[in-house]
Every structure is written in structure tokens, then in C-alpha cells.
Structure 1
């Protein structure tokens, strides 16, 4: 039976799913942690990438090497860049874009037919899903600044930091990709801190850096608490969406 690959960046994105799918076995592929699961008729292999395009690219290669998946689901939290999407709302990527040195560049890799089918499945099973354009950034962006640069082709932008790298790996290996995000911060929520203040050079979150930043900027505490609540709500929705995605893809 073919394997469905799953890739997510952070433990907070993964834990709600693991609570719903038991048992699972842990293994490793290179420096990445893998979990092998089974639900219904689907064999799953889940990799935790860590934050950012470099880690997502390397984790995608590790997933392909370990599991040879027939299809990959990239899932996690996302930030709404324009008004309209609510915290906790599911969003399926119809296109992938990278915001890099050359500006916004369209990326191949997302299977549009599968994405449309998954969105329709989530409409039936999870109370709806937005059709979105996923913009992958290498840093935390000011949403207001990004909105001014968006081409008219991007109508419902959702920000993340991994999808474009996963899409490139899928394109290179000929593996179809679907990307599912749960909104963790609405368009009006501009982050009052940079990722560099929380992470090391490899984009891994370091608790001591987080503590030092909070000590230096205590006014960000209410926002961090709000984002934590949002992430818990988004995580529950995301887990249900991933299970629906797996069941949908296992029937294909």
C-alpha cells in the first residue's frame, strides 16, 4: 500500500494530530524525526522539519528517502495577509509563491486538481475551507507592506515559512503536493518581534533567546499569549483537516 507523506514545521502543529492517531512509531532519517502511523487504509510517514525554507527542503528530501511517498501533505499554521480569513479557519493552497530576493516568484509543485478536491472534501466534512495562495517567506514580514506588493493574481494570501521549499522538492521528485494551513493570526495581527530574536542560525527556537527577548520587550507578552491561544484553536482544526485530507487522498 502506498505511503502518504506528511510534513510540518513545529511540535504545536503536530501534537493535536498525534492525539487522534495512535499508536505510532518514532524513527529518524538523517537529523530529522519521523513518525510512522496508520489510519484507516492509509500508511503515513510524518516528518517534523523545523522552521524555514532550508530545514523544510532538507526534511522533504529525508521524507522522500525514508518513505518514497505517493503524495505529500504539507500542513501547519499560517497567517492571513489580507482581511477575510478568521483564526482557526482551514485554508487549502491553490498556488505556492516564494517571497525572496527576486520578489514574489510563483513555485510549481502543488497539484491543483488534488487541492480543489481536498477543498471540496473539507467543505463537506470540516465546515468549509478557504482556497488560498500560500506565500512562503524567509523572515517574518509586515503584512501591510506585503499587501502593497501583491499582484492581482493573488486574491487570498496566507503566509508561512516552508511550503515553497516542499513544493520545489515535490516538483523535482515528481510527487504531487497538497498544502493545508490553519489560520493562527488574522490580517490585522502584525507581529511585534522578529524570528531572529527567538531562533538560532538554523532557525531552531531557543528558550533562552525567547526569555531574553521577553525580558527586553515585556510589551509583547499579551501578543504571545494571544498567539498561543490562537495556535491551540488552529491546531485542533488542523488535526481534523489533516485526517480528512489523508482519507481523501487514500481513496485516490
Structure 2
């Protein structure tokens, strides 16, 4: 069929998949880490974008330049915005939204027909998957506040910081895209810190800033430990879903 492109933000989202899939070759050079591997008879190129919409857009451009993919999967962790989804649940994005100054706005990109077929496939292989709607934001949103501003009829909303940007960039190039998220925090989990406290201006996590924040806010330690445990649970389930999705996309 051609090369399948994968894009995810963080190492914790990527490592479980690389352990599960065939051996991957790390490509050197460029702004973003890139791996090349095979699933079945098809080439897979995986890009680690880092967090945030700007990096997601630039990493999608890098993926297209490096591999000219015939389809793209955006994957990673996500937060449940409403009660129902639990840690480790898998969700296929049926639509992509962006939460910004104009409210929550529907964005282009997600191939809904392809997403429906993917959801059917993952339901068969991965013992259940939710059809969700992904809401991308440039910052961490308070779930309690967000619940009151959701568009009418939105089903199983999932928060992330990249999907809308990847979907828009792929759409501009006419590349079909699907999105897969594993829930790493449920609707009751409100973060007690902001990303600004952990990251630099390029949305990269800086250990010194993390330690300084913990020193100022030691009460966040139990939450960080819980989130680390949840990420391991979500990462294992996500890896299975990503591998199954790559195989599904390779069949055309």
C-alpha cells in the first residue's frame, strides 16, 4: 500500500508500542525523533512530536517530508472530560475539535468513514473501544469548567493537546488521518499543576522545573505517582491498539 505515518507526543506513549512491534531503526538528524519499522509488508514511520499544537503541526510536516505517508495515525494518551471512560480505555476519534478563545470549534481532518471502520476492527481485536470526540487545547483545561461549555450532543469527549493540529496539517495535504487515544486520567482527575510549571517555552518538560515545582507543591507527589501508574496501564493498551491500527491501515 505504501508507508503508514504514526505521530505521538511523548516517549511514554511511544515506548510500549516500540517494544511490542518489530525492531525499529532510529533515524538521526532533524528536529524530531523518527523511527522506521515494518508491520507486515508495509513500512511504518513514527515521529515523536513533543507536546502542544505548534510542535504537532511541525512534526506532521516533518513526517510528510520524510515518508510521504498514504495515511496517518495520531495516537497518545487523553483525559476523559465526562464520567464514563476509565483509565486504560481505548477511544477512536470520530471528530476533532479545538478549544480556544472562540470556544470549542469543530475542525477538519478526521476521516470519519475510516474511523468507523477502524472502531469496528478494534472492537473485534482489542476487546472493546469507544467512539469518542477529541477536544484539543493549547493548555490544560479544567474538566469541571469544560463540562458546562461542551457543544450539544458531543459524545465521549477526550482531551488532548495535539490531535486537531495533526488532523489539520494532514487534511491540507489530502492525507487520510485517524486518531486513537488511551485514557490516562478519568473525569474525576483534575490536575493540581499546570504545564507551564513543568515545561519551557517550547513545551518540553524540564526536570529542573519539575523538581522545583514538587519542592513548592509537595502535595502533588501522590497525584504524579498515580498518573505515572495510569500511564503505564494506558500505554500497554495503547500499544496494542496502535499495532492493530497499523495493520488495519496497511490493508488499505
Q: Which TM-score band (shorter chain)?
A: over 0.9
1:45 is paired with a residue whose SS is strand
Q: Which residue of 2 aligns with 1:199?
A: 199
Query: Aligned partners of 1:15 and 1:140: how far apart in 2?
Result: 24
Ranges in structure 2 where 5+ consecutive residues have no aligned partner: none
Task: Determine the structure 2 residue equivalent to 1:182.
Answer: 182
Query: 2: distance between equivalents of 1:124 and 1:41?
Result: 22
> Which sits farther off after the overlay, 77-86 or 23-32?
23-32
Number of corresponding residues? 252
- Paired residue for 1:30? 30
CA RMSD of aligned residues (A): 0.9
State the match for 1:135 in structure 2: 135
Mapping of residues 27-106 of structure 1, within 5 Å = 27-28=27-28, 30-106=30-106
Whole-Å Cα distance in 1 between the matches of residues 171 and 134 of structure 2? 16
SS at match of 1:93: strand
Between stretches 34-43 and 172-181, larger displacement belongs to: 34-43
1:16 aligned residue? 16
Equivalent position of 1:166 in the other structure: 166
The 3-state SS of whatever aligns with 1:149 is coil
Secondary structure at the aligned position of 1:214 is classed as helix
Shift of 1:151: 1.0
The DSSP-based 3-state class of the residue aligned with 2:147 is helix
Query: Aligned partners of 1:153 and 1:96: how far apart in 2?
Result: 14
Alpha-carbon offset, residue 28 of structure 1: 4.2
Q: Determine helix, strand or coil for the equivalent of 1:32.
A: coil
Deviation string, structure 1 residues 163-182 (Cα, Å, up to 9, x no partner): 00001101100000000000
Q: Does 1:157 align with 2:150?
A: no
Secondary structure of 1:199 counterpart = coil
Question: Which runs of 5 or more structure 1 residues have no equivalent in the other structure?
Answer: none
**Given that residues 81 and 159 in structure 1 are in contact (C-alpha distance below 8 angstroms), is that contact kept between their aligned partners in structure 2?**
yes
**Distance (Å, rounded) in 1 between the aligned partners of 2:55 and 2:12:** 17
Aligned to 1:126: 126
Q: What residue is the counterpart of 1:146 in the other structure?
A: 146
Q: Is the 8 A contact 1:52 1:138 kept in 2?
A: yes
Aligned to 2:131, the other structure's residue is in SS state strand
Query: Relative to structure 1, is the Cα distance of residues 10 and 34 closer, same or farther in structure 2, using a 3 angstrom cutoff?
Result: same
Secondary structure of the equivalent of 2:202?
coil
Q: Secondary structure at the match of 1:95?
A: strand
Question: 1:29: how far off?
Answer: 6.0
* Partner deviation per Cα, 1:14-45 (whole Å, 9 max, x = no partner): 00011012321111463111100102122100
Where do 4+ consecutive residues of structure 1 move more than 6 Å? none
User: Residues 223-242 of structure 1: matches in 2 within 5 Å?
Assistant: 223-242=223-242
SS of equivalent residue, structure 2 residue 58: helix
Q: Could you say which residue in structure 2 is the equivalent of 1:249?
A: 249
SS in 2 for 1:174: coil
- Structure 1, residues 34-72: CA drift from partner, whole Å, max 9, x if none? 100102122100000000000000000000000000000
